[in-house]
């Protein structure tokens, strides 16, 4: 009987089959800015958003069905009043050297519970899903010189967990 209990415990300690994990969602990372993106002379209320879309590796390298971990990050402007995505904006509002509103590849993607870590824009990122909504989500970025956290998020939600 004791051997059976030990065997059962040993089986429970083995890692389960790898489950595909994903990160999805977008969060506003600036307070309201005023910008006339329509050219009508009215300075609309806008926010910068960051969108994440990635998945863990599936299978084992060398297997025919293997899919490596992959994903994209995108940053864009959205009208805070009606949700319209701002298509045209002038230089000075964008991040230097980063394509605006274009998917930028995530590399070195690693999932750990409700956190995903990856490289993008030449920086190391850690995005943590804090639950429903954006209030407890965390985004930490290391540019190689310093690590800083996006101290406040304003809207949206990021979800990190098993693929549905």
Which pLDDT tens digit goes with each residue over 118-164?
Answer: 999 899 999 999 999 999 999 999 999 999 999 899 999 999 999 98
> Average of pLDDT values for 61-69?
92
> Average of pLDDT values for 70-96?
81
* 2 pLDDT tier (thresholds 50, 70, 90): low
Tokens of 35: 């910008």
Q: What percent of the chain has pLDDT over 70?
A: 82
96 three-state secondary structure: coil
| Nearest in space to 140 (alpha carbons), one of 118, 113, 164 | 118
Q: Which residues pair with 72 in a beta bridge?
A: 53, 105
Measured CA to CA, the distance from residue 100 to residue 95 in angstroms comes to: 8
> Average of pLDDT values for 107-114?
97
Q: What are the residue boundaries of the structural domains of the chain, listed by start?
A: 18-29+49-74+95-162
Measured CA to CA, the distance from residue 8 to residue 25 in angstroms comes to: 39
* 11 pLDDT tier (thresholds 50, 70, 90): very low
DSSP assignment string, 3-63:
HHHHHHHHHHHSPPPPPPEEEEEEEE-S--EEE--SSSS--EEEEEEEEEEEE--BS-TTS
Measured CA to CA, the distance from residue 127 to residue 52 in angstroms comes to: 9
pLDDT of residue 153: 95
Residue with the bigger pLDDT between 8 and 107: it is: 107
pTM: 0.82
pLDDT of residue 97: 56
């Amino acid at each position: 009987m004791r051997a059976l209990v030990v065997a059962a415990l040993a089986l429970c300690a083995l890692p389960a089959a790898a489950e595909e994990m994903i990160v999805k969602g977008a969060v506003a990372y600036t307070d309201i800015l005023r910008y006339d993106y329509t050219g009508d002379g009215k300075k609309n209320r806008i926010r910068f958003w960051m969108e994440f879309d990635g998945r863990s590796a599936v299978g084992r390298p060398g297997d025919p069905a293997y899919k490596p971990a992959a994903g994209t990050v995108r940053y864009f402007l959205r009208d805070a009043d009606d949700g319209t995505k701002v298509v045209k904006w002038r230089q000075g509002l964008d991040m230097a050297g980063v394509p605006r509103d274009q998917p930028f590849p995530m590399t070195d993607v690693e999932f750990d519970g409700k956190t995903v870590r990856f490289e993008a824009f030449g920086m190391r990122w850690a995005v943590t899903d804090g639950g429903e909504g954006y209030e407890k989500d965390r985004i930490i970025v290391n540019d190689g010189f310093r690590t800083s956290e996006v101290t406040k998020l304003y809207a949206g939600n990021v979800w990190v967990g098993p693929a549905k």
